[in-house]
């Protein structure tokens, strides 16, 4: 997974780096390093994020609640 796709997945999930840090109970610096390309994104984490993001992308957002 590229850092760009990593960020796209977080955006699809509406997660910040802090949200992911909380979900994984890891260090924020590590998540930020993956975002910037300074750290490699582990394959199992990339797969998990891809699956979650695809679910969110496929489900979309209900339009009936927009004003």
Distance CA 64, CA 7 (A): 28
- Predicted confidence at residue 17, as pLDDT, reads 97
* Whole-number pLDDT of residue 67: 66
What is the predicted pLDDT for the residue at 60?
Answer: 84
Region at 61 (left for phi over 0; alpha for psi -120 to 50; beta for the rest): beta
Q: What mean pLDDT do residues 38-49 have? A: 98
Taking the C-alpha atoms of residue 35 and residue 10, their distance in angstroms, rounded to an integer, is 10
With cut-offs at 50, 70 and 90, classify the pLDDT of residue 47.
very high
Mean pLDDT of 10-33: 97
Q: Give DSSP secondary structure letters for 25-60.
A: T--HHHHHHHHHTSSPPPHHHHHHHHHHHHHHHHH-
Confidence of residue 26 (pLDDT cuts 50, 70, 90): very high
**Average model confidence (pLDDT) across the chain:** 94
């Amino acid at each position: 997974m590229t850092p760009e796709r990593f960020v796209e997945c977080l955006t699809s999930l509406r997660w910040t780096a802090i949200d992911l840090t909380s979900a994984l109970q890891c260090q924020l610096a590590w998540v930020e390093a993956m975002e910037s390309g300074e750290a490699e994104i582990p394959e199992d984490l990339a797969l998990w994020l891809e699956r979650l993001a695809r679910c969110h992308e496929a489900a979309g957002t209900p339009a009936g609640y927009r004003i």
